[in-house]
Structure 1
């Protein structure tokens, strides 16, 4: 789980360094940074904690992985931003963006596959689904479009990377998740 969360933060930093657009939540985080200061990673952490507060009326229960998600991803992002500069030239920027999206897929598979609790944003989605009966697709799309619009209004960066991320992250997580999922006790006992 810790490796997955760290790599998730690294992938977000690489996406930012590519300068070709961010995933919707990071457009929002970057917009908050531009308007209110602090680092993008600090806003990842603050927003994660605030989203957890939205779990209370939804009666969602965080796991160890949920808390680790809030604490680790933003820190890993800021550390990576301090160590890695942006590439020069469009081919380098495209390569960095592509690597960031694939790495995000692997990282998602690792932290989701650990089965130690959903991230704050994923728990918000599943909690709203459970309470409203609306489809996960509709709820996730609504959340993502809301934070993207808010981020754009605040001056966050959207671009081709935003579109590439939106189109590829689902298939990439689906590809990597089976390889990264920790078997349950029942699955382990059936094999033995």
Structure 2
């Protein structure tokens, strides 16, 4: 069986990071890409584990030199991207690679790697998504408003994906995703 890249995307605050962390803890056979970003670390985030925190100049250099599989400016503020090298290496080693990225990035990966499987992580409802974003308390009211506007656009794009998983329970959603990854 040839390894196949799986891309997990969805709106802000839907729980992509939480589902990915659950998979990291319970499924060591899944290789999770560590995204790079220019945003500052949030409390508890560790460089190289949660993200690779880069300066704007270093991020721009990596983009110029083709070292990013995908990248985007998200919420009009910080740049996020997936370093290409580790993904290619994981595929070559036959691992089950998973990218947890935003909608723009998922579209870029689909364009450059059409064989990748795309999975949209959806909230149980719009109200639940709003509650999750407010509940995490990591953004100002202005940042929340920007993220919710972005989330409306992201929610409308779910039909572009191969599969949709509703994140109504972290463990269930994570197990559904891993089962999907193993099945193809």
TM norm structure 2? 0.30
**Higher percent of residues as strand:** 2
Larger RCO: 1 or 2 (CA < 8 Å, sep 6+): 1
